[in-house]
Amino acid sequence: MVKLRQVDSSYHVDFAGLMRLYETNYAKLNSLLPSQAEVGDKRTYQVQDQVYQINILEITRYTTLVDLFQCDQTPNFPLPNMTVRLYHDARVAEVCASEKMRVIHARYDYPNKKMMQKDEKHQLNQFLGDWLTFCLKMGISREPLL
């Protein structure tokens, strides 16, 4: 009789990969922020036909908290909206809230009540990185429109 080996299906956080993602997101997002940012600053930018806004919510000695979202142009389509904290001492940026999620855990058991993916935190930060790359490659203006 052949004994089948049971495969471990639990998700393990790739910490090194997540940190690399945080570092690249920091560099991308930091290049979009004004050098002398102040709390309450709102910058609206256009990338091709899309408009997005960065709002500076909080600035401390070592961190900056920003809201980053695509402005609503198509009401029936969910648009990106996330809060990102930049840690200047470590030079990393992480999504700390997205849409209606105020706490994002590094891993989730699956299935779960809210149907979060096992690697939800990694996916949100990867999306941020992809979105920032799109904005930087597609001719984002350094000057705000408004």
- Does residue 63 belong to any structural domain of this protein? yes
- Does residue 44 belong to any structural domain of this protein? yes
Alpha helices in the chain (DSSP H): 15-30, 120-137
Return the pLDDT at 7: 42
pLDDT in tens, the chain (146 residues): 555 444 445 656 677 888 999 999 999 999 888 888 899 998 888 877 778 889 999 999 999 999 998 886 666 666 678 999 999 999 999 998 877 666 665 555 666 576 566 677 888 899 899 989 988 888 666 565 55
48's torsion region: left (phi>0), alpha (psi -120 to 50) or beta? left
- Does residue 4 belong to any structural domain of this protein? no
Into how many domains does the chain fold? 1
- Does residue 19 belong to any structural domain of this protein? no
Return the pLDDT at 97: 84
- Does residue 93 belong to any structural domain of this protein? yes
- Does residue 125 belong to any structural domain of this protein? yes
Return the pLDDT at 4: 47
Element (H, E) at 47: strand 42-47
Return the pLDDT at 49: 76
Measured CA to CA, the distance from residue 76 to residue 98 in angstroms comes to 18
- Does residue 26 belong to any structural domain of this protein? no
Element (H, E) at 44: strand 42-47
- Does residue 109 belong to any structural domain of this protein? yes
Q: Residue 77 is part of which domain span?
A: 38-137
State pTM to two decimals: 0.77
